């Protein structure tokens, strides 16, 4: 089946349901959503299966993308789609971050692996916007905004993994004020490709005499092709793709092992201050974490559409209590349950990620509380949305039955593609640890308590009120607990808080449904929200025991005994 952009849902969220469209009028928002839908449905979507089957290939000339990808990316650049949320002074359109996220959702719903390329470029734009020099901004941001050049993040190294403080890549000063970069990075998405005229690598490295750990890390801008005095690509930099990974999914996204400066001089420029790499990195990472949460939405939407279509066409067995004639499986109660759960979960995580995105717009507009609430919700948006993406794509296979396990239906691809989202840009365990260790105690716990108070005030659903109260109780418990106990309960607590926030956002949507939503879809949306509040919210309450449990049972046996 062909992917269809969820324009009605996006338009409802951005113009009616209290999520900022960044000041754009409804006509502008709708025009953008319909425009990107055409590109996604006609150009990017049809390439998804080709990209999965063929994959990116490493050749002597670098990484070659699957057939059709270069042309489809050129369509993206020509349409100016990468510039939606970029400030006007850097060649962008100056529209909202929320609207740019909706654009990326549509592209990723059609072809998630392909959409990783603009996702990473958005992170590079954000880092340079906040930390780059005027010259760096003038040369790189206009070309990154259009997509004429793309960007990457080079953080991970073979020996370091998520422990960034262990990285070994070196940066040595040159006489001309630039730096020689030498080292190796792994798991670099779109580290090389043939889509754009240049690639701006943002690379974490250590300078001579740097302090150990994360305190000694700096960020460098290392282009694939060194720009000349006019900012145009000139000679090649000493950057080499050692290999590309053979992965479970996202085959059209080249995941590269990158070598810098192993043959000649690899030249980079310092971004921001020396030893300011972690601050700049988190500018990139926080942007990327929202975008990865959005990938959960993309895949859940695509899986739900595919499951609904298949269930409506597949005729098998008579419905119990009905006539003896076989019916489409969508008439069977358990299939209905799965599909309604898929719709409810997809709408819930879309609401969560879009709400977090609106906080970016509010922060940029000077709202004094938006920054701290965004900090609180970012680990929820990344972790919960990707966990739900895995659940919904798995349910999509189940709805298809045996055919879901067969690659030709495409249901399996969505499940395979989804699995990485819980791992990269900080595993979901890291997100949960960040939530309980750093975010819950923020400002003496006031950021979370203010959110919970607002949720209580808006809520008249008993199970949701109970879930909010349990989250409040657990937060107080975490603030008294030792580190191991906090971390032991962190993942179930993240799920509970995420479901509470999603339930609150969905309940608020009910009040706006009669104003501006497609009447033909309103009945389905009401049913999905009711399902969420009556079934998924009570499920989350059942996690309270796990969230409250101490770490003691986890260490009753030794690591050696666990291996028996």
Under 8 Å CB-to-CB from 483, ≥6 apart: which residues?
A: 437
Distance from C-alpha of 423 to C-alpha of 161, rounded to nearest angstrom: 11
Residue 325 among the catalytic residues: no
Token pair 């030792």: residue: 482
Listing DSSP states for 37-89 in one string gives HHHIIIIIGGGHHHHHHH--EEETTEEEPPTTHHHHHHHHHHTTGGGTTS-GG
> How far from chain centre, in Å, is Cα 251?
17
The active-site residue out of 126, 157, 387, 425 is 425
CA distances from 191 to 235, 325, 448 (A): 18, 55, 38
Indicate the pairing of strand 149-154 with strand 198-206: parallel
- 108 phi-psi bin (left φ>0, alpha ψ -120 to 50, beta other): alpha
| DSSP string for residues in 312-344 | HH-EEEEPTTS-SSEEEGGGSHHHHHHHHHHHH
Evaluate whether 550 touches 478 at the Cβ level (below 8 Å): no
Nearest residue to 56 (alpha-carbon basis) of 252, 246, 243, 199: 252
Give 45's contacts (C-beta < 8 A, 6+ positions apart). 2, 3, 110, 111
SS3 of 203, please?
A: strand
* Dihedral, CA of residue 446, residue 450, residue 451 and residue 454, to nearest 10: 170
- Integer-rounded Cα Rg, in Å, for the chain is 24
The CA distances from residue 174 to 202, 302, 358, 383, in Å, are: 18, 50, 43, 41
32 CB-side CA count, 13 A: 27
Separation between Cα atoms, residue 534 and residue 128, nearest integer Å: 45
d(CA 423, CA 444): 30
CA-to-CA distance for 442 and 373, rounded, in angstroms?
Answer: 10
CA distance linking residue 270 with residue 171, whole number of Å: 9
Q: What is the rounded CA–CA span in Å between residue 366 and residue 361?
A: 9
Question: Cα(311)–Cα(304) distance, rounded to whole angstroms?
Answer: 10
Query: How far is CA 236 from each of CA 51, 198, 487, rounded to the nearest angstrom?
Result: 28, 10, 46
Q: Which residues are catalytic?
A: 425
């Amino acid at each position: 089946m062909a992917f269809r952009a969820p324009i009605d849902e996006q338009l409802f969220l951005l113009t009616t349901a209290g999520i900022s469209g960044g000041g754009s009028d409804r006509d502008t928002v709708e025009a953008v959503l319909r425009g990107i839908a055409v590109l996604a449905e006609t150009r990017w979507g049809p390439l998804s299966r080709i990209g999965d089957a063929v994959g990116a290939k490493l050749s002597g000339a670098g990484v070659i993308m699957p057939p059709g990808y270069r042309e489809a990316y050129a369509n993206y650049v020509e349409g100016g789609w990468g510039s939606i949320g970029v400030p006007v002074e850097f060649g962008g359109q100056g529209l909202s971050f929320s609207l740019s996220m909706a654009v990326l959702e549509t592209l990723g719903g059609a072809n998630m692996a392909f959409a990783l390329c603009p996702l990473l470029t958005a992170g590079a734009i954000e880092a340079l916007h906040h930390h780059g020099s005027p010259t760096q901004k003038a040369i790189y941001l206009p070309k990154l905004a259009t997509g004429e050049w793309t960007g990457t993040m080079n953080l991970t190294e073979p020996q370091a993994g998520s422990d960034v403080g262990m990285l070994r890549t070196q940066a040595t000063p040159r006489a001309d004020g630039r730096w020689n970069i030498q080292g190796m990075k792994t798991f670099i998405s779109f580290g090389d490709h043939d889509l754009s005229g240049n690639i701006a690598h943002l690379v974490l490295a250590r300078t001579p005499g740097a302090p150990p750990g994360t305190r000694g890390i700096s960020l460098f801008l290392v282009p694939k092709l060194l720009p000349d005095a006019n900012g145009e690509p000139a000679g090649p930099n000493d950057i080499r793709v050692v290999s590309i990974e053979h992965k479970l999914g996202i085959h059209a996204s080249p995941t590269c092992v990158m070598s810098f400066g192993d043959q000649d001089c690899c030249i980079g420029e310092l971004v921001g201050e020396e030893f300011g790499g972690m601050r700049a990195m988190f500018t990139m990472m926080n942007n990327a974490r929202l975008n990865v949460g959005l990938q959960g939405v993309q895949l859940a939407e695509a899986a739900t559409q595919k499951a609904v279509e298949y269930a409506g066409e597949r005729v098998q067995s008579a419905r119990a209590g009905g006539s003896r004639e076989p019916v489409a499986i969508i008439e069977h109660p358990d299939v209905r349950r799965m599909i309604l759960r898929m719709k409810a979960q997809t709408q819930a995580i879309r609401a969560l990620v879009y709400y977090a995105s609106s906080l970016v717009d509010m922060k940029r507009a000077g709202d004094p509380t938006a920054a701290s609430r965004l900090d609180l919700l970012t680990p929820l948006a990344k972790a919960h949305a990707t966990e739900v993406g895995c659940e919904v794509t798995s349910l999509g296979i189940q709805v298809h039955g045996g055919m879901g396990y067969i690659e030709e239906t495409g249901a399996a691809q969505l499940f395979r593609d989804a699995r990485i989202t819980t791992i990269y840009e900080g595993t979901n365990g890291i997100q949960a640890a960040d939530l309980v260790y750093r975010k819950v105690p923020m400002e003496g716990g006031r950021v979370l308590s203010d959110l919970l108070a607002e949720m209580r005030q808006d809520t008249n659903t008993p199970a949701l009120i109970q879930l909010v109260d349990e989250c409040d109780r657990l937060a107080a418990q975490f603030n008294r607990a030792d580190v191991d106990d906090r971390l032991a309960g962190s993942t179930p607590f993240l799920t509970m808080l995420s479901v509470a926030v999603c339930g609150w956002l969905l309940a608020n949507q009910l009040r706006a449904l009669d104003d501006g939503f497609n009447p033909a879809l309103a009945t389905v949306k009401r049913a999905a929200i009711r399902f969420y509040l009556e079934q998924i919210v009570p499920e989350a309450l059942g996690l309270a025991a796990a969230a409250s449990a101490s770490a003691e049972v986890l260490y009753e046996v030794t690591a050696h005994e666990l291996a028996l």
